[in-house]
Amino acid sequence: MLLSRRRRFTALAIVALLLATLSCGALTDVISQNPTMATAQAIATEAAKAGELFGTAQAMATEISPDGIAATVQAMATQALSGLSTPPPDIPIVEGVETENVFAMENLLSYSTSLSFAEVVAFYKKAMPDNGWEFQEDGSIEMSELAVLNFTRADRDAVVNINVNPADKQTVVSVVVNKK
């Protein structure tokens, strides 16, 4: 099945969101809470229509043991440490509050903050356009504790994933940038 570029990009962003959530210090709590795993499975199942990537995400959520997921995330984090840099200058980070677990690369930004979910969603809906990004309603979703906000520029697309970590109630942000 041939996927549109936007669907593939959204698929990668959702997988990145799931991996970022797992790697933000609450891996054991996230895995052990059935509602969270059910949500991950539901997202993967609902998105399965988009292709094999979602099937892989669903298989990860249902077939890999918690120890296997922990080892995979830890190995990925260790490998990525050598490639750390700063995010693109036009990708904003919330200001005025402490941010934790900051991970930045050329095309990825992930962090957690004590700001409420609603405050972070409102921040990105204002700050991204202020930095030259155009909000794309198509493909963007907002639920009570999960938002996927799509933005575009002439040369790049960005997906801002925002969710609440059930273990510590921190708001987790993951931004994936893709060249067109």
Average pLDDT, the chain: 74
d(CA 73, CA 67): 10
Is residue 132 pLDDT above 90, yes or no? yes
Res 179 pLDDT > 70: yes
Cross-strand bridge partners of residue 178: 157
Instruction: Name the nearest CA neighbour of 110 among 175, 169, 156.
Output: 175
Structure-block tokens of residue 94: 């919330």
Per-residue pLDDT reduced to its tens digit, 31-55: 444 454 555 555 554 444 444 554 5
Mean pLDDT computed over 116-143: 97
Residue 155: its pLDDT value, please? Answer: 94
pLDDT value of residue 85: 63
Buried b (16+ CB within 10 A) or exposed e, 132-143: ebeeeeebbeee
Confidence of residue 28 (pLDDT cuts 50, 70, 90): very low
pLDDT in tens, 87-126: 788 999 998 888 898 988 889 999 999 999 999 999 999 9
Tokens of 67: 């120890």
Q: Check if the beta carbon of residue 85 is closer than 8 Å to that of residue 105.
A: yes
Q: Which two tokens stand for residue 111?
A: 């962090």
